[in-house]
Amino acid sequence: MNAPLPIARDRAAVDPGWRAERRAEARVVLADVAHHQDGLIRLAARVIVSHGETTKEREDARVLLVVLDARSPLRHRHRSDQDPEASA
């Protein structure tokens, strides 16, 4: 049987290139948003917002998240019971 995979924060410590690989994957998704689902785009944008190399890159990803939220503001809320507008 294979050894269990380390959790994400441990992977970065074990393999220094791991975080760079995740950023590269996120950039690929964001470079071609027309061909990816919103959920994957959101995930990629969150990776770049948290781990982007430049302030501009992080800000652009944050703006993309705002645009995605504006397209479907209620569908992606986790706790709709806290928002009276979501239950209408």
* Model confidence pLDDT, tens digit, residues 42-58: 999 999 999 999 999 99
Identify the pLDDT of residue 36: 94
Identify the pLDDT of residue 59: 97
Answer whether residue 85 is part of any domain.
no
Rounded distance between C-alpha atoms, residue 14 and residue 46, angstroms: 23
Answer whether residue 53 is part of any domain.
yes
Answer whether residue 34 is part of any domain.
yes
Name the pLDDT band for 3 (thresholds 50, 70, 90): low
Q: Is the pLDDT of residue 75 over 60?
A: no
Number of C-beta neighbours around residue 6 at 10 A: 13
Answer whether residue 21 is part of any domain.
yes
Q: CA torsion angle for 62, 27, 56, 58 (degrees, to 10)?
A: 40
Number of domains in the chain: 1
Task: Kindly write down the DSSP assignment for every residue of the chain, as one continuous string.
Answer: -PPPPPPHHHHHHH-TTHHHHHHHHHHHHHHTGGGS-HHHHHHHHHHHHHH-SSHHHHHHHHHHHHHHHHHSTTTT-S-GGG-TTTT-
Answer whether residue 60 is part of any domain.
yes
Answer whether residue 32 is part of any domain.
yes
Answer whether residue 88 is part of any domain.
no
Residues spanned by the domain of 55: 8-73
